[in-house]
Structure 1
Amino acid sequence: MVDPRSASYRGGLTLPSPLLQAHAQAMYPALALERARLSGSRLVFDSADGFVRSISQGFFLLKIPRGLVCEPVDQFARQFYLPAGGYRDMEVPGLYQGYFDRPDDQWENFYIERGNWHLLPQAVAMPGAHMASIGLHVLRNTLAFLELPVADWPRVSGGLSDNGGYQMLAFNHFRSSKNARGCKFHRDPGWVTVRRSIEPGMFAWVDGQIRAINPLPGYFIINFGSYFEVLTERLATPVRANIHGVAQLEPRPSEHERTTCTLFLGSALNAHLYQYRNGRAVVS
């Protein structure tokens, strides 16, 4: 049973269903996302309180580093689901990988873990690896900002801080011809999500209301996962992993349907989940 006194506890929420994109864009204002960039391996926010606000909101914008070309992953996201020449029939070794069709959503996707990225075209795998490196910098900078002991990082992150853990690329397509929600509201598992998105459509429950999480050209959308929230929920500055989902697209030509590429970073699958209590990381 979830303890309702926990900072990560969520009470009952009444979310609109269906959440139609045109209606949602008119009804729910965009969240003013903090902006950041990487200076070498250091995460630098444009505003003095940007890190604190991002941890509280659960989302921020990160400038795409110079030289990182995203067009190949965009193109792959527009093609993976096609019956001819796509990847929907590819057998990918390992658990929960390959093509998935969601019966209750417009959403369909292709998941592939880092150990299998050699199966992708090199032009797609290379920016995927760069996105993973960016996510690892976000992880380490956030642990440092929270002043958590460096010696604890590999253990509490399930090896992720040392470039181990679970690193998954997800390519997503939303079929506007399907009369269903875009995708359900959920919280990401893991630690950090790096999202390549080029059009609006994502909405999140932040500070007691629904807000649009809109992309900005030249930036990734970063959000924190539920492992971060569990680890920090008893700290003075807990990290929020806020609920989010995608609105239902109205019918449009297939070449203009919504696609995204997402990089998920999590602990190794056999790792424990930790929480800081009284200054010590204990198994949660």
Structure 2
Amino acid sequence: MSTAAGQISAAALRGWQLAELRGGQLHFTAADGLRRALKDGFFYVRQPAGTELSAGDRFARSFYLEGGGAGDGPRDPYRGFHRWTSEQLGRHQGYFCRDADQTEQFFLEKAWWDRVYPAALVQQAERMRDFALAVQRAVLARLDLPRELWEEATGHSLTPHGTHTLTFNHFRPEVAARGLNIHKDSGWVTVLRSTERGLEVDRDGDWCPIDPIPGTFIVNFGCAMEILMRHTATPVAAVAHRVVRQPPSGGAKPDRFSYALFVDSTLDDRVCPGLFAYEPGGGLRLEAGFGTFLDDILDNTYREDTTGLY
């Protein structure tokens, strides 16, 4: 156990797994930490030394607010992003505000970061993307999957062809609705920044809280990873999770926020036809087109009467 990892108590972890990425490898505090994390569908990971999150935190607290400008003082580059919509940016991107959830959200893929996000946030997004890909490679290195298949099997997600999205959530406690609906992430790994309680995961039919631990991210495994590895000696669970309704605080504390870097397969069918399952001795078998799979997961997540499961 490293000194840094050891500073987090067993009580804080509540039996969940903690790792640190060093030298391109994941080092878990428990001897069987990776096996347990693959079964749980997520784990905590120490933030890299020198991680700077102020730009992301500021954007999460501000993106939904009206922007400043003439007559209101200098324009705030972290406000006014509700004007960016899917009509400008493409399907599943931009600002969304739905009645079924307390969340209002902002989704943006890598291709748009330089044109839309403030410069400091672009730098943070790129660091989070690089860290997420390093975590994904470290996990793949411990799975029952030949290295020569990584690129094709993971939908070229480890390359610039992959779909890399930074997504922000602002929770509106004044809205009488669920916090965020039950769902599984669609892709490979998600690196989540969370600072307030409210996240829960499904463990054998019980909803268990996943409280934030300072100095860590939460890494979720997604459906693509679950589908790929389900027939192998190292199956991976895609964790079903939700955020509970946030009660009004009367202004006593700031609204809850979170944000995450999602690593997904390419959406270009010419590069990769979709999601595969790997069978040892049999190779890769195409299971579904990723674009359609992603559409279904997201549409079911944000409807009032469905869940984002498959």
Match of 1:36 among 16, 19, 44: 19
Measured after TM superposition, the shift of residue 174 of structure 1 is 0.4
1:5-84, aligned counterparts within 5 Å?
31-84=14-67
Following the alignment from structure 2 to structure 1, what is the Cα–Cα distance between the partners of residues 182 and 257? 17
Q: Following superposition, which runs of at least 4 residues in structure 1 exceed 3 angstroms of deviation? A: none
Give 1:105's aligned residue: 101
Confirm or deny that 1:282 pairs with 2:276: no
Identity of aligned residues (%): 38
> Structure 1 residues 74-83 or 136-145, which shifts more?
136-145
2:244 corresponding residue in structure 1: 247
Q: 8 Å contact 1:64–1:219 — kept in the other structure?
A: yes
Pick one of 268, 275, 288 that aligns with 1:273. 275
Displacement of 1:37: 1.0
Deviations 1:68-97 (A, max 9, x none): 201110110000011233210025523221
Distance, in Å, in 2 between the alignment partners of 1:164 and 1:200 is 35
Structure 2: gaps spanning 5 or more residues: 1-11, 68-78, 288-310
Deviations 1:109-143, CA, capped at 9 Å, x for gaps: 00000011102111111111111111111211121
Distance 1:210 1:194, change over 3 A: same
CA distance in 2, matches of 1:240, 1:193: 13
Give, in whole Å, the separation in 1 of the partners of 2:15 and 2:197.
Answer: 14
CA contact (8 A) 1:77 1:259 kept: yes
Against the structure 1 CA distance between its residues 237 and 208, is the aligned structure 2 distance closer, same or farther, given a 3 Å change threshold? Answer: farther
Partner secondary structure for residue 166 of structure 2: strand
The match for 2:202 among 197, 202, 205 is: 205
How far apart, CA to CA, are the structure 1 residues paired with 2:161 and 2:18? 27
- SS at 1:223 equivalent: strand
Matched-pair contact (CA < 8 Å) for 1:31–1:212: no
Residue in structure 2 matching 1:184, options 162, 181, 184: 181
Q: Distance in 2 between matches of 1:141 and 1:253?
A: 44
**Once superposed, what is the RMSD of the aligned Cα atoms?**
1.6
| Counterpart contact for 1:31–1:211, Cα < 8 Å | no
TM-score norm. by structure 2 comes to 0.79
Residues 30, 211 of structure 1: 8 Å contact kept: no
Instruction: State the AA in 2 paired with 1:259.
Output: F
Distance 2:137 2:165 in 1: 18
| Structure 1 partner of 2:6 | none
Whole-Å separation in 1 of the counterparts to 2:250 and 2:146: 52
The answer on whether the counterparts of 2:101 and 2:180 sit within 8 Å (CA) in structure 1 is yes
- Tell me the TM-score normalized by structure 1: 0.86
The structure, 1 or 2, with the larger RCO (C-alpha pairs under 8 Å, 6+ apart) is 1
- SS for the counterpart of 1:105 is coil
Instruction: Measure the CA separation in 2 of the matches of 1:74 and 1:234.
Output: 39
Give 3-state SS (helix, strand or coil) of 2:239's partner. Answer: coil
Tell me if 1:167 matches 2:164.
yes
Find the partner of 1:126 among 123, 126, 132: 123
